[in-house]
Structure 1
Amino acid sequence: MNRILVALAGATLLATPVLAEDVTLELWSRQDTSGPLRPGNVVKAAERLNAELEAEGSDKRVIVEVRESPAPGFDEDALQLLRVFGIGEGPDMFIQAHEWICAFQQDGFVLKLDDYLAKYPEHFGTIFPSLWESGKCPDGTYAIPQDAEARMFFYNKKLLREAGYDDAFIEAMPERTMSGDLTMDEVVEIAKSVVDKTDAEYGILHRPSKGPDYLMVFQTYGNDFVDPATGELLLERDKLAEAFGWFEKAVADGVIPANNTSMEWDAIRAEFYAEDNAAFWMYGIWDLGSRAFPTYGLPEDEEAFFKDWGWIAMPAAAKGGKPSSLTHPVIYAIAADTAEPELAVRLLGHASAVDLNTDHAVTTTHLGIKPEQLDDPRYAAAWPLARATELLEVTKFLPNNPQFGDLNGIIYTAMQGVETGRLSAEEAADFVIDEAEATLDNVMVK
């Protein structure tokens, strides 16, 4: 582990008061090329905090030291950081995937933020209310959302038109979804019409590996996977069976291919983006900027894109129900034993400023955390972000439980079994419960 002094906040030694007290705050961050401004914005924020401290007449000045972790992913990084805290060597602040926050809370390593957040509404008061759920444990809030994502059903309007759906029907799909009128079963019906009435081979495609996206299906059927009172994993057999039943029906109707989980990523994208060979693609907004536009040539112009393409949130399970999306915020957190909790909170408040967060959002295709970012010309110009921000109103999260990654692996295995015909929906629900009870700790079953 190397320690890199990224920035000395303050101008120069000559500009620093003679009696200034330097306060070094150490920030733990993964070496993540996909999000360099996560720590970078904290470094920039120190300049703003120091100017504020000077105006207040304080003799304190903040120095930010970034401690870099070479961990390949957030799970590995979280486990490494827990070990570091365990030997008393933890940093003052850290950046982490939100689902790990309660692991740090359970071990007493992270600062409870509720009172601080209320004290500084100028920094935290306008963050989207839904995003705060990502930083909560049963007894309070322990993290600040740093960014967000949106996951959805993309769809090919050309194929829907070819299948006989008129423009009025097609253009009403997003609004019908948000109102609860469009349902999951209707998505299967639309996809089946495309397969039956056009040359397209696939109705719906999803990721071919373990990950978050397909969990939207389970959530729309009421599977939240965590008990809000205890934070323990929660499995509800009937709700699991209903979600697996949707996949079972989609495969039986020839909509989802039985071999979806053995397909290659590039092949799936090509079928949807380039070959006009799939009606729907369940994935995330970042895929437009990272793959659809540069690799597969979809139009980057907003009007041209929406002429032939579109997206909807995850529809309700039943008519009149609530739609949903899924986001996976990365969060800022503060160590429980930091010597300067107030300064750390203020520092992360400045790091959450509209302009700095927008710098990160537009360069990494992540959603912002505040509605004011919609007024930033740069954010507005990145129209996929601006348009997808509305999904934060209905978004959900992975459980803040460190065992959920293992549970997700069990769910994915069961989903493979359903799609390949080895398991019925009922058998898949039983499989998940049996495996979870045998391999995981403190699993509640209803």
Structure 2
Amino acid sequence: MIHWKFGTAALLSAALAGGSVVFLAAKPLFAQETVKLELWSRQDPSGPLRPGNVVKAAERLNKELEAEGSPKRVEVVVRESPAKGFDDDALQLLKVFGVGEGPDMFIAAHEWICAFQEDGFALKLDDYIAKYPQHFGTIFPSLWSSAKCPDGTYAIPQDAEARMFFYNKKLLREAGYDAAFVDSMPERTLSGDLTMDEVLDIAKKVVDKTKAQYGVLHRPNKGPDYIMVFNAYGNEFVDPQSGKLLLERDKLAAAFGWFERGVKNGVIPANNTAMEFDALRKEFYSGNAAFWMYGIWDLGSVAFPTYGLPQDERAFFADWGWIAGPAPKKGGSPVSLTHPIVYVIAADTKEPELTVRLLGHASAADLNTDHAVTTTHLGIKPEQLEDPRYAKAWPLARATELLKITKFLPNNAQFGDLNGIIYAGMQGIESGRLSAQQAADFVIEEASSTLEDVIVK
């Protein structure tokens, strides 16, 4: 319904004409227009506030629009996908866009954004990000790297993670390392003094001097965590100019060499890739392994509730700790690995400005902290460190410093397939079927024959 309000001139005319006056106001009032914005989100119990915060953001945007005198009001419609993982979800959504049925915005794993950009389905955001510093200006600079394609920025970071080497201080002390050595490991790693091979040496001493059976354990299936080792040895896996996959034979062989030395020294078990995930966790958290290469979320989801590791910060760090991925040589650069989930806006949305503003509000520090503390993910803004809830979730607060040195999976849709090939190379090494150089050659040969546009150096 359209309501009209009359000014004093109209009232005077009506009075002179002998007419009756209904009401008085100073300016016209326009019809309210509801703008429906569709959000595609997979059904993800591990991150319900990824879409939920966008719904909440609509309330904030609508108050802002009302204050501006705009007749527009935003309504978010969530379209849920039953996909089991982000790869399947992205493939489904690409098909939906292909038949012209795509949403206004969607949630994705960051490595898929360039696939949407290449097909013309993603909106370039650089100008919008610069226009709204109140929403995007304090997002950790490192996280924007995960949102870029070769020609610009196509996503907004929604959360982050941190991957590291957890270690058992009790075992290290039992193996003969003094408390000063054990407690200095994180700082030495960040300064480039502790190296990847020193981790193997420490793990070897633990296996030799204690009853612990294992030195270093890693995930038993394809995933991002062990890519941190490849990053440490200089593998970036993507050509920054073209966005194509990049394989460098010497750097691949160097990373595979670390796993090879670990197995030969009895530090990494030869059957690591054949073990069950829960069995690996149990070995580490029950005190049967020196190091566990995984992610910060494992503390809140498994270590504390299942294995009884102390939730008090001081008690935890008395006997447990973590380090970043060390440099391969002294004086080199340490690494961590994160895997941001991102918000992406469709290139053909009818309301790009409103959609950007909506996702800007969804990126507010308080809403992002709601998500972070309930799912053990890292926040996207430094001001979240000042939130008492975030500070109370000390694993998040302590791990946030790793975002300064973090690396990302390449924003290339084929990396999932390449990662499967890399993992097969690791299996070959740990089972004794391949040497480090043979594993590097295998990855290059297999990727070159099965994937498109792979650059080999």
After superposition, residues 391-402 of structure 1 pair within 5 angstroms as 391-402=402-413
* Matched length: 429
Amino acid at match of 2:103: P
Amino acid at match of 1:331: V
Of 356, 377, 396, 1:385 maps to 396
Counterpart residue number, 1:268:
280
Of 78, 88, 94, 2:106 maps to 94
Counterpart residue number, 1:240:
252
SS of 1:208's equivalent? coil
Aligned-residue offset at 1:372: 0.3
Matched, 1:72 2:87: no
After superposition, residues 47-446 of structure 1 pair within 5 angstroms as 47-274=59-286, 276-446=287-457
> Structure 1: how far apart are the matches of 2:194 and 2:84?
40
Determine if contact 2:124/2:347 at 8 Å carries over to the other structure: yes
Determine if contact 2:30/2:71 at 8 Å carries over to the other structure: no
SS of 1:66's equivalent? strand
Counterpart residue number, 1:22:
34
Give the 4+ runs in structure 1 shifted more than 3 A.
Answer: none
- Deviations along 1:344-397, one digit per CA (max 9) or x if unpaired, are 000000000000000000000000000000000000000000000000000000
- Deviations along 1:268-306, one digit per CA (max 9) or x if unpaired, are 1111101x1100000000000000000001001101000
- Deviations along 1:4-41, one digit per CA (max 9) or x if unpaired, are xxxxxxxxxxxxx7611111111111011110000000
What is the TM-score when the length of structure 1 is the normalising length? 0.96
Amino acid at match of 1:389: T
Aligned-residue offset at 1:267: 1.2
SS of 2:347's equivalent? coil
Matched, 1:44 2:50: no
> Structure 2: how far apart are the matches of 1:249 and 1:175?
25
SS of 2:322's equivalent? strand
> Structure 2: how far apart are the matches of 1:317 and 1:371?
29
> Structure 1: how far apart are the matches of 2:288 and 2:49?
38
Amino acid at match of 1:201: Q
Amino acid at match of 2:331: G
> Structure 2: how far apart are the matches of 1:43 and 1:199?
53
- Deviations along 1:59-112, one digit per CA (max 9) or x if unpaired, are 111111111111111111101100111111110000000000000000000000
SS of 1:24's equivalent? strand
> Structure 2: how far apart are the matches of 1:240 and 1:104?
29
Amino acid at match of 1:328: H
> Structure 1: how far apart are the matches of 2:43 and 2:369?
20
Counterpart residue number, 1:10:
none
Amino acid at match of 2:449: A
Amino acid at match of 1:376: D
Amino acid at match of 1:176: R
Aligned-residue offset at 1:338: 0.6
SS of 1:282's equivalent? strand
**Structure 2 unaligned runs (5+)?**
1-28
- Deviations along 1:249-274, one digit per CA (max 9) or x if unpaired, are 11111110111101111111111101
> Structure 2: how far apart are the matches of 1:46 and 1:438?
48
**Structure 1 unaligned runs (5+)?**
1-16
RMSD over aligned Cα, in angstroms? 0.7
Amino acid at match of 1:407: L
Determine if contact 2:62/2:73 at 8 Å carries over to the other structure: yes
- Deviations along 1:216-235, one digit per CA (max 9) or x if unpaired, are 00010000000000000000
> Structure 1: how far apart are the matches of 2:69 and 2:105?
25
What is the TM-score when the length of structure 2 is the normalising length? 0.93
SS of 2:308's equivalent? coil
Amino acid at match of 1:235: L
> Structure 1: how far apart are the matches of 2:164 and 2:103?
36
> Structure 1: how far apart are the matches of 2:35 and 2:281?
49
> Structure 2: how far apart are the matches of 1:332 and 1:118?
17
- Deviations along 1:98-139, one digit per CA (max 9) or x if unpaired, are 000000000000000000000000000000000001110000
Aligned-residue offset at 1:199: 1.0
Determine if contact 2:218/2:272 at 8 Å carries over to the other structure: yes
Identity of aligned residues (%): 80
Counterpart residue number, 2:16:
none
> Structure 2: how far apart are the matches of 1:298 and 1:408?
32
SS of 1:293's equivalent? helix
